[in-house]
Amino acid sequence: MSTRSAEGLRLRKAEVRSNDQIAPGIFRLTFPRDRDFIPGQTLALTTDPAISPRYYSIASGANDALFEILYDLVPEGQLTPRLARLDAGDALLASEELGAFRDADGASVWIASGTGIAPFASMVRSGMASKKTLIHGSRTLAGLYLRGYFSSVLDGRYMPCCSSETADGVFPGRTTAWLASRELPAAERYLLCGSSRMVVDARDVLISRGVPFGRVVAEIYF
């Protein structure tokens, strides 16, 4: 059974399986996967048809039993405080899979900030890690979601960056600082996902380093 949001988006009811705070202000929400999707796609979520849905990249693998969504709590926001109060068994409204943020075979560099890691987590979990390099930035170490997993699967092609804390194997600074200070990996595409500031700054660094504009693909979250 489905309903429609105020904007006319078709939404189906889903039952929350888990909703955990995995880092300060960052939540991991799961609910049953009832349809196929392509890694990189998004779902629009809300708790009530009268509240405008927000779009979130899917973080789970294409064959996982559950949809997994990462979201940032915006205390003054209309939706995320409601999402943060959901418990297992509560109802959620979700759209069909949407979006065209995709990758192809061949060498790519994935650049993410914060919960912008979600589409790349989906791609790695779906077996698309070959010839991919992942650069992930976070203000805190706790925000480097799946750091151990990426380190093991990507085998030296994972570069975590943290701007406010230090740890062995973690670059002390933003992703843009890493890009500006290192020789860029050879790649056919550079895929960026994160805040508008990160995407604009990282794209500027890449272009200044000689990467053609057409090789940079971006997904911005707000």
The domain boundary residue, chosen from 94, 125, 160: 94
28 and 89 fall within a common domain: yes
Residues whose CB falls within 8 Å of the CB of residue 5, separated by 6 or more in sequence, listed in order: 11, 44, 46, 49, 52, 53, 93
- CATH number of the domain at 141, please: 3.40.50.80
What Å distances lie between residue 98 and 26, 28, 44, 114, 130, CA to CA?
A: 23, 20, 8, 21, 25
Enclosing domain of residue 59: 2-94
Number of domains in the chain: 2
**Total-model pTM:** 0.94
Indicate if the pLDDT at residue 167 is higher than 80: yes
175 and 79 fall within a common domain: no
Residues whose CB falls within 8 Å of the CB of residue 113, separated by 6 or more in sequence, listed in order: 136, 137, 138, 174, 175, 193, 194, 195, 198
24 and 121 fall within a common domain: no
117 and 71 fall within a common domain: no
Mean pLDDT of the chain: 94
Asked whether residue 86 is assigned to any structural domain, the reply reads yes
Reported as half-sphere exposure (CB side, CA atoms, 13 A), residue 13 has a value of 8
What pLDDT does residue 221 have?
76
Asked whether residue 201 is assigned to any structural domain, the reply reads yes
Asked whether residue 103 is assigned to any structural domain, the reply reads no
Bridge partners, residue 32, by sequence: 66
82 and 129 fall within a common domain: no
The domain boundary residue, chosen from 26, 61, 94: 94
126 and 197 fall within a common domain: yes
Asked whether residue 185 is assigned to any structural domain, the reply reads yes
What pLDDT does residue 2 have?
65
State pLDDT tens for residues 48-71: 988 999 999 999 999 999 999 999
82 and 112 fall within a common domain: no
